[in-house]
Structure formats: structure tokens, C-alpha cells
Chains A and B, each alone.
Chain A
């Protein structure tokens, strides 16, 4: 990084390091000035003018001092930075507004009471019934999806050859892309056939369908990381393949498999659409997932938003429930990643 004073014949001339900031400051000042002069009020216009001036200024100055190629490089750099900052704004706003508005009503009472005697537009009530329903539905879905997913992954990695394995791989991939509402409609179409009323376990089935491919994918990746030497050593000792898988392959990759399952749980815990179709929602506590409508946390958020006709109390509850849900998902994520790091197989890479 030469300063303007050093004249080198080996390097082209370079702008000083502070030049982007200077150009940025200059263009903002000019943009504001022009906006005032032209009597513009929208802050978007101000930003747009300043941004345009910045890009043109950078390009012009750099092209003069450093040459066209360097100028393009500088413009690309600033565009990439702008894209990053642009994306940060909504994402920060999302997290901030959820936390700031969520803490208003989030307390012990909120977590331990249902909406039993509270109508949607008055304050009070809580999410106990929703947490209970969510936990039950997600747990049942995990009980179904995790074994099937792990076994399928074992089949694909340890046994899978030929057309069946190829078909399974392809459809697992395609299955990851099924919209959650379609999974809900599938279970719904079965329920319509048998004339069933909505109940919690139906939601679990739809969630399990969404969860399976995720578990298969992540478990597959983990099993592939297990070095072949381990399998060969075990088989060479005369141990049958199934015991090799159970006693050598799985223990080696158990950390990664657990992580994958937890991430999948985090994903389905936030699904609303299938629950809306199949579990229906309930403002009372229903601890039995096999009979009667239940509540779930994401569905609770939606219903508080949609059924309240703009009542502030309901919005507050929706935000608090969102905060709870995000906290649950984030903790699952963090713990899962922690396990992954802690139990990572030593692959010698």
C-alpha cells in the first residue's frame, strides 16, 4: 500500500487507503445538498442520489488515477459491500423487533397459562397449550422420521447400489423441496377419506414427511465421513456387517447424526401450514395428541395475528410467542452445532 509520495515504477499509482471513505462522505454531502436544492423529501431519493454519486465518483477518480481495470474493481467492491449492508437491514430489523416487542408480555405467567377464558382481543392469557402441543407433535414426528431417515441413509451409504439406491437418492432430494402445505394436504386427503376430525398426531405425520429427507441427507453426509479403514478393520476381524455398522460406523458419526436430527427438529418446529390444516388450533389445553384439536406455537402466532382484527394485546402475544419460538429454534441450532463440533469424527483432514 504505497502512499502518494512513493513513486515506484513497478506498481501503478494507487489511491490512498482512506479514499473510499472520503468519496463516500463527499457523495453523501453532495447528495443531501442536491436533494435540498431540488426540494426532494423522500429519504430513498437521498440515498439513491448519494449512492449513484458514490459509484460514479469512485469510478471516475479511480479511472483517472489507477486506470480502468482498477476502477471496475473498486466499483465491484463497493457494490458487494452495499449488497451486504442492504441485506443486513431487514434481517437485523426482524431480530430486533421480535426481541423488543416480544419481551413486553413474555413472563412466567405467559408461559404457564392457556387462552382458556381470554378472548383474542383482550390482554392476558398465554402459550402453555401451544408449547405443549408443539412439543408433543414435534416429538411424535421425530420418533417416526428419525429412525426411518437414519435407516434410509444407512441403506444408501452402506448397502445402496444399483437402481433402487439411485431412485431413493433422487426422490429424497426432490422430497426436501415439497412445500409444507402439500405435505399437509396429503395427510388431509387421507383424513377426508376416513372422515376424521383434526387431531395432533395428523400434524405429526405431515411434519414427519417434511423431516425425513432432511434427516436422510445430513445422516448420509455424516456416514460418508466415516473412514473406510474403520469398516475394513472391523470386517477383517470377522464381524458381521450389521454389527460393524451398529458398533463402529454409527458410534463414530453419532455426533453428526444427532446434529442433523436436531437441525431437522428445529426446521419442523416452525412449520405452520400443515398444522393449520390438520391440527386446527385450540385455545384450551389438550394434552392428548391422538384426539381433538390441539394448538401449536407457530399456529398460535398466526391465529393471534389473523383473528384479532388489529388488537394490540393479540399482537403483543404474537410477538412474545415468536420470540419463544425463535429462542427454541436457536437454542436447538446452537446446541446441535456445539455437538457437531464436540463430537466431530477425526478424519485426519
Chain B
């Protein structure tokens, strides 16, 4: 490891402190110093970019918010052309959270079940190919999901909507006024389909790392397959599954095109998940950007800043959980 033994200046009887320090650090040749500088420089550049994102977005956002005549966090409208301009993110925050919650509620149990299927239930010969296909599905661009959602999924939702309205309409959140099913529920279902592959992939990696011994010990005690999963696999994989879900949540929160193609947006909050309306941060930026004025763009940047902070928190939390178990870092597996 220590090249400095050869590089060090001819051994003087009493090396000075400075010399010792330099020797301990290693990089003494010009080539080494340049290379270290380059690689450290790129690391620092990454940090600078992150900081720059925060600074620039905050700067433009502050311009917009200072001109906003309504409360930026609670206003239910987005009128940047108005004099005085009034806009707020309440509807967007609500829509983003609701669609993500629906997506998570649908995707996480199914993804975990598929991961278990791939590690414990599927015929051994099928496991590899199925995992491979799911890997590939994670790479399908979101705009393709969006196109599929808008042209194939939406027409197929009428039956489900009618059924939900018939039997659960009394709850209020499932009542349906026969509008086109371009509502939060469809968005949530589409997002669930989109984040399914990534959650499945990461969960599968985690389940595969369960020590064979734990499972065999449980089996030797006469446990059924389900009991093995409950006693050995799930406890071991819990933190991994949580962080996988957070990664999926991060995707769902920031998804733009799929929501923009499927949702028919409006600036109010619908009580029912089945009635079209509402919006999400990312969708609003994509849809409003085309006709936005200078202030309109700054306002959109301000809403983007909020989205940035939310995803930062979610991802940071996911990383904290992962950090406890280093080997789960299959973030982009």
C-alpha cells in the first residue's frame, strides 16, 4: 500500500514533522497529485451541483413568492397572469400526497409478494428469467407508461369506477359523477404499476441475502414455508423493504409525464378520488410551463423547490435506513 517508502527523500536521520506528514499522506508524485486532484475535484463538483440546485431554485422561488399576493402554501389557485398575481401550492401538495399514497398502498404489498414469489415460490427455472424481465421493465421510459395509461388504462377504468361507485359510493371518497376516469385513483394505479419493478428489484435483493441458516433452522423445526417467511425472511428484510418503498415513493412523488398525460387537472381539491381534478407538483410544472410568463416560470420553479425538498427528505430518510445495512445499496439495480 505505502509507496511513500520509495518516494520519500533520502532518509535523513531526523525526519521533520512536515516530511512525516507528507509521507503519511502518500500522494507525492506529480502524476499522483494530478489524479487525486481530478478525482477529488469531480467529487466536489457533485457537491457543488447539489448546492447550486438548492441556491438557484431558492433564488428564483424567492422572486416569485415575494410577488405572490396570496399565501404560497395555502392558496387554492394558480393565477400568475392576474394583477396582482395569486398562486399557492395547497392543491398540488394534496394531489401529490394522495396519488403517492394510493400508489404506495397498491404497489408495496404486491411488490413484496412478487419479491417473495421470485425468491421462495416460483419454480426455480423461472426465477432468473422473470427477475430479468422485471429488471427490463424498470427501464421502460415513463412517457411510455404515460401513453399507455392515457390510451389503454383510462378506458378500462370505467368498469372499476362504476363498481366502486355502486358499492362504496356512500363513503364519499369513492363516489363517481360519471366523468372521464382521469382522476387521482387512475393516477395512483398507474404510478403503482410504474414503481412496482423498482420496489420488487430491491426487495428481492434483500430477501436473497437472508442467511440460508436462518431459513433452514426454521424448516428443521417443522415450520411451513409461510412460517419461514414470517419468522426468518421478513424480520431480516424489513429495513430493506422500507428503504425500497421509500425509493419507490421518491419516484412516485416526482413523476411528471405519466401524471401529465393521464390526469385532467383543475385547481381545486375533489372530495372523491374518482372525480377528475386536482394536480401534482410535477404535472403542474409540465402542463403550465408552455404558456407561462416570466413570473409564471418563477412560480413553477418555486413549486419545484418544494418538490425538491420533499424528495430530498424522503430519499435522505431512505438512505439513513439503508446505511444501517450497507449491502442493500442496490439503489439502481
Contact = CB atoms under 8 A, between A and B. Distances in A.
Contacts of A152: 39, 42-43, 45-46
Interface in A104-130: none
A216 interface: yes
A176 B37 CA distance: 24
A112 to B, nearest CB: 22
The DSSP consensus for interface residues of chain A is helix
Nearest to B60: A189
A179 B331 contact: no
Interface stretch (A16-24, A25-33, A67-75, A282-290): A67-75
Interface string B219-238: 00000111101000000000
B269 interface: no
Interface stretch (A1-9, A50-58, A135-143, A235-243): A235-243
B70 interface: no
B143 A301 contact: yes
Contacts of A272: 141-143, 256-257
Task: Name, among B139, B152, B329, the residue most crowded by chain A CB atoms within 10 Å (CB to CB).
Answer: B139
A298 B60 contact: no
B285 A185 contact: yes
B144 A322 contact: yes
A179 B307 contact: yes
A131 B302 CA distance: 32
Task: Name, among A152, A159, A177, A242, the residue most crowded by chain B CB atoms within 10 Å (CB to CB).
Answer: A177
Contacts of B316: 174
A263 interface: yes
Interface stretch (B9-17, B80-88, B158-166, B270-278): B158-166
B282 interface: yes
Interface string A166-180: 011011111111111
A245 interface: yes
Contacts, number: 283
B29 A240 contact: yes
Interface string B104-124: 000001110110110001100
Nearest to A246: B35
Chain A contact-residue range equals 35 or more
Contacts of B136: 330, 333
B46 A235 contact: no
A43 B36 contact: no
B160 A44 contact: yes
A240 B143 CA distance: 48
Given A164-B40, A242-B31, A69 B49 contact: no
Nearest to A322: B144
The DSSP consensus for interface residues of chain B is helix
A77 B226 contact: yes
Given A79-B113, A87-B110, A273 B286 contact: yes
A305 to B, nearest CB: 6
Nearest to B121: A80
A311 interface: no
Given A73-B227, A270-B144, A182 B304 contact: yes
A347 interface: no
A49 interface: no
A77 B130 CA distance: 18
Interface stretch (B51-59, B71-79, B174-182, B207-215): B51-59
A180 to B, nearest CB: 7
B42 A155 contact: yes
A81 B121 contact: yes
B113 A80 contact: yes
A322 B143 CA distance: 8
Interface string A271-283: 1110011000000
Given A158-B39, A186-B56, 16 more contacts: A73-B227, A83-B110, A84-B113, A97-B151, A155-B39, A164-B43, A174-B316, A177-B254, A178-B53, A192-B294, A270-B141, A271-B142, A273-B285, A322-B143, A325-B143, A329-B139
27 contacts: A70-B224, A80-B117, A86-B110, A93-B152, A94-B144, A94-B145, A94-B193, A97-B152, A151-B39, A155-B43, A160-B43, A173-B331, A174-B315, A174-B319, A176-B315, A177-B315, A186-B56, A189-B56, A189-B301, A192-B60, A192-B298, A212-B46, A242-B29, A267-B139, A301-B147, A305-B261, A333-B135
Interface of B: 1-3, 6, 26-27, 29, 31-32, 34-36, 38-47, 49-50, 52-53, 56-57, 59-60, 109-111, 113-114, 116-117, 121-122, 135-137, 139-148, 150-153, 159-160, 162-163, 193, 196, 224-227, 229, 247, 250, 253-257, 260-261, 282, 285-286, 289, 294, 297-298, 300-301, 304, 307-308, 311-312, 314-316, 318-319, 322, 329, 331-332
Which 10 pairs of residues, A with B, have the shortest CB-CB distance? A270-B141, A179-B254, A83-B113, A177-B315, A242-B35, A155-B39, A73-B224, A151-B42, A76-B226, A273-B256
